[in-house]
Amino acid sequence: MIHPSAIIEPGAQLGADCEIMAGAIITRHAVLGDRVVVHPYAVVGGDPQFLKFDRRTPTFVQIGEGTVIREHATVNRSIYEAKATVIGARCFLMANSHAGHDCVLGDDVVLANNVMLAGHVDVGSYTFLGGGAGVHQFVRIGESVMLSGLSRISRDLAPFTIVAERDEVSGLNLVGLKRRGFSRETLRELKEAFRSVYLGPGNIRVLAAEALASGAFTSPEAGRFLAFFAEGKRGFARSPQKAFGGTAANREEDAA
């Protein structure tokens, strides 16, 4: 359904049963899956906020099926030719939230009101980002992360964690994990993997690699948690114990 005064530019692609409400703008750079709902005054496929961008460059935004984009939310297209900013299936982008150019969101991601994602941010599936949170460019956020409202994030957030304030990990997102139906054994392994990385002295990357190589963790979820620390360029959000404990050398974990 296309409501009166909605703007859909020639070249935009809409799947079956989409609803585009009054005042919403779907540019020619947007590709929407089935059953996508776009509320008033949202803009999907707008130009990236990148000073050197040539507007003639053919780039895109892809929105997964069943995603809802609320009032005044914005999703900017990629800065790279033939590339796309990607929003997964069944995501919920609340009012005034923003996904910058070249962001990639997995499935079932929620951006609460006024969430700000800079360019090149990756967000794993089943993650919830609280209202007003701001995320620096090139940050990776793992699956099933719970991020507190008004948080300021400049480092990578490991999967399955709860994070608040300025890059501060407070524990595992146990409520979210139980809702996903993970077994007790998986939860036990995730708790042990978390302790191995966050609660002991030493370099986070090294501790995660040693735990992964030990063979002590058999669940895919624990494996994904530990493997997360092998990549990334921005360093990692840490627990207060990790941030303030140990020697100065141990605290320079991001240099490895």
Active site residues: 101-102, 119
Distances in Å between the Cα of 121 and the Cα atoms of 56, 99, 154, 221 are 24, 8, 10, 22
Q: Which residues contact 234 (CB under 8 A, 6 or more apart)?
A: 136, 138, 139, 140, 154, 155, 156, 254
Short-list 158, 160, 153, CA closest to 232 = 158
Q: In what order do the strands lie in the sheet with 19-20?
A: 19-20, 37-38, 68-69, 92-93, 110-111, 128-129, 146-147, 161-164, 168-172
